[in-house]
Structure 1
């Protein structure tokens, strides 16, 4: 089959796909990439204009003005008869509230159900009030932090009007506390996640989460005190939230609690609790131990070093199926690894009423293996991002080099013949002096750009070599079952890193090799101007 016929067959196959399937395929890429797919098939040319999924990211553009113009073009070209199911908006840097409001107003006027909003900026941004007033929105995710630190840059209003909202995820967001009214107008809210959020207007009181229908709540990496009054809550996760927590959730069935010390207070009996995962890293004194035991009596879970407090307590577990114990401290490689043991008193307290329960202790080696695999993956992801950005910068530098070369060629001075020198006028002398000034400015700019390129190249090289060495060290500690796959991925990254570093050094060498000719031209220009 000829390539032309094969191309026609593939094009026909693409054209025959139903719109819903094409829209689903495009939902996995940004709207910019979706627009670019219009070349794949004649029928795909305008199909992006009826997409119900809109994903905008400033990372796809070199400047925010270009990003803003593209967004305006998409919204003005889109089929207004088609509703919007989801909007994913990500931007880095300062954008106007009017720009954000335009996107949100368009989404809400087209009955958007899902909105993901991510802002990376150095200053606080107050989102338009329209974001917190919608009758169609069911899922909302807000993420905002500084590009240099994890300071919060998104500030929300004190009231919300989102009657259809079912899922709310907030990451690095500042909330205003107005008693129990913050979520009171989100009648259908079922799932709430607060991660690294701060509360304003608390004074000495706790932040209140009061909702009659909330079924799942996650609190992670916070400091403010929290009062939770949720009669229908089923699942509660608290990880690293250091404030005092007063919980009233009589129907709770699953609790995941990880904290340095015990700050959890439960005001109701947990009669429906089925699954508990508790990790309290430090018990400083006997008073703190009493707090732990008080919690254990309600949670039916205990892991306390103060054995005397529980040695005479009957085991409350009458139907325990399994118990797994994790070490709270994993020593470094080479250090003595203490064996994880459980005292007879604690074991009796946990298993005394459930003789058929399985009991498992997780070893330090197992924990370290998981950490090493995760560390290797995260380091390789960091290296992947660095290399992609470095390649993009190198391409930009190459374009600048070509422009610099063209500018140098345009400024090259032709040496006049002896007879022509005698006929030069005062105007010619002035032009030569101006040309000399332009050459000086250009050489200064050239030096500045070159120094910047050298600095970036050096920093990127140091970061890359550091990451390569870290990954190589971690991979030696990774279990064999995971090492082969990770090693193959690392080898590919290492080859790519070497190519990019060599390419950068070649560019630097080319730039330095050009300098004698550049200064020779400058000297020639200055001689002719005098």
Structure 2
């Protein structure tokens, strides 16, 4: 909440807010609102089931809705004259089917929505559009003259007509990112683009990247980018930079990140185990010079042995996981990580030997106490006879 007395941001955590369909939040000084995992339930009996929750927040400029669940209503209306930034992330789950946005000053719109929902958007001054979802976003016919950047990631585009309609609405964009799935769909529907000029006359950068992993896409679904699609996207802006990332490259980047994380975890564990085992071995060496205390718990020794086995098992699992990821990496990427992996292997051997030595010392100590106990028991039996 912004005010002349200072700035405060309120994030409302999960709770249920019950209101009638005609209710609104009366917060005229509010400029920033963040609602996360809030349940909004409409108990109104009206037929339209439309919520106009924010209409009296007349100074609202930034609105974020994350994982909000709307029950008992079909339409969420966001009509605000000063709104400049909206982020909707899985907003409006439940019975909601339509989100109506009327924001003449809106500059940035971010939508992440993997459910089918209709968006009615009136934002003529929109500059940045970021959309990620399963289905294609439909923008109403409008001239988005100020559009500079659009990032459109559709995981399962079905209708090439809808995709082309959306692209035509983004004709003024300068920086465009599209999911590879959109390009594959267009490349399978080239007849729709025949004799159509490229709408992107101001394009400076075009990026194509996959939204679905390689393992998620069947072989017959993988379509190379056709010359017709490339021409439709780039012919009107021949100076634009073009970047296309394949699913193999995405998988390699994901694997590199995974192996780096695993190596970091293993190295941290090895350092801790090296310090622990060295300290323990020094302590046990000193204890070995002292008389054996037969009253000390054998159970404690067994627990120590089990802990050593558990640590060794975790280290081996991490080592195998790193090796498995490395085998999937392209040779060039694997070559940069292999020396680090080899060094880590030597460190692992040293620590595993220390763990094994500690476990052996625990076993020897256990056996020593057991032998001493039997010896004392035999001596006591002879004395009593």
Q: 1:457 to 1:340 in 2, by over 3 A?
A: same
1:360 to 226, 231, 242: 242
What is the match of residue 152 of structure 2? 278
Q: Tell me the distance in 1 between the aligned counterparts of 2:374 and 2:62.
A: 75
Q: Tell me the distance in 2 between the aligned counterparts of 1:167 and 1:495.
A: 54
What is the match of residue 250 of structure 1? 124
1:200 to 62, 69, 75: 69
Q: 1:468 to 1:378 in 2, by over 3 A?
A: closer
Q: Tell me the distance in 2 between the aligned counterparts of 1:213 and 1:295.
A: 26
- The runs of 5 or more residues in structure 2 that have no matched partner are 18-24, 42-50, 177-181
1:505 to 342, 346, 356: 356
Q: Tell me the distance in 2 between the aligned counterparts of 1:528 and 1:165.
A: 87
Pair 1:451-2:306 in alignment: yes
What is the match of residue 378 of structure 1? 258
What is the match of residue 412 of structure 1? 293
| Structure showing greater relative contact order (alpha-carbon pairs closer than 8 Å, 6 or more residues apart) | 2
What is the match of residue 135 of structure 2? 261
Pair 1:236-2:236 in alignment: no
2:191 to 279, 303, 308: 308
Structure 1 contact 222–242 (Cα < 8 Å) conserved: no
| Superposition deviation, residue 253 in structure 1 | 1.4
Q: Tell me the distance in 2 between the aligned counterparts of 1:394 and 1:203.
A: 59
1:176 to 18, 35, 39: 39
How large is the Cα RMSD of the aligned pairs? 4.9
2:366 to 497, 515, 525: 515
What is the match of residue 421 of structure 1? none
Structure 2 contact 270–347 (Cα < 8 Å) conserved: no
Q: Tell me the distance in 2 between the aligned counterparts of 1:232 and 1:329.
A: 34
- Cα offsets for 1:368-427 (capped at 9, x unmatched): 346424422332223313442464467567778859x979979726xxxxxxxxxxxxxx
| Superposition deviation, residue 306 in structure 1 | 2.5
Q: Tell me the distance in 1 between the aligned counterparts of 2:80 and 2:251.
A: 37
- Cα offsets for 1:102-159 (capped at 9, x unmatched): xxxxxxxxxxx9xxxxxxxxxxxxxxxxxxxxx75556789xxxxxxxxxxx625648
Paired residue secondary structure (1:265): coil
Q: 1:386 to 1:330 in 2, by over 3 A?
A: closer
Q: 1:395 to 1:243 in 2, by over 3 A?
A: farther
Structure 2 matches for 1:9-20, cutoff 5 A?
Answer: none
Q: Tell me the distance in 2 between the aligned counterparts of 1:185 and 1:522.
A: 81
Q: 1:234 to 1:478 in 2, by over 3 A?
A: farther
Q: Tell me the distance in 2 between the aligned counterparts of 1:308 and 1:490.
A: 51
Q: Tell me the distance in 1 between the aligned counterparts of 2:324 and 2:129.
A: 36
Larger strand proportion, structure 1 or 2? 2
Structure 2 contact 135–156 (Cα < 8 Å) conserved: yes
Q: 1:343 to 1:376 in 2, by over 3 A?
A: closer
Q: 1:524 to 1:189 in 2, by over 3 A?
A: farther
Q: 1:188 to 1:494 in 2, by over 3 A?
A: farther
Q: 1:214 to 1:408 in 2, by over 3 A?
A: farther
TM-score by length of 1: 0.50
Give the count of matched residue pairs. Answer: 340
Structure 2 contact 68–92 (Cα < 8 Å) conserved: no
What is the match of residue 21 of structure 2? none
Paired residue secondary structure (1:266): coil
Structure 1 contact 327–340 (Cα < 8 Å) conserved: no
| Superposition deviation, residue 517 in structure 1 | 0.5
Structure 1 contact 216–234 (Cα < 8 Å) conserved: yes
What is the match of residue 342 of structure 1? 226
Structure 1 contact 177–207 (Cα < 8 Å) conserved: no
Q: Tell me the distance in 1 between the aligned counterparts of 2:87 and 2:155.
A: 20
| Superposition deviation, residue 469 in structure 1 | 0.5
What is the match of residue 321 of structure 2? 467
| Superposition deviation, residue 464 in structure 1 | 2.0
| Superposition deviation, residue 504 in structure 1 | 2.3
- The runs of 5 or more residues in structure 1 that have no matched partner are 1-112, 114-134, 143-153, 414-434
| Superposition deviation, residue 498 in structure 1 | 3.7
Paired residue secondary structure (2:138): strand
Structure 2 contact 59–82 (Cα < 8 Å) conserved: yes
Q: 1:523 to 1:258 in 2, by over 3 A?
A: same
What is the match of residue 155 of structure 1? 14
What is the match of residue 200 of structure 2? 317
Paired residue secondary structure (1:261): coil
| Superposition deviation, residue 520 in structure 1 | 1.6
Structure 2 contact 78–100 (Cα < 8 Å) conserved: yes
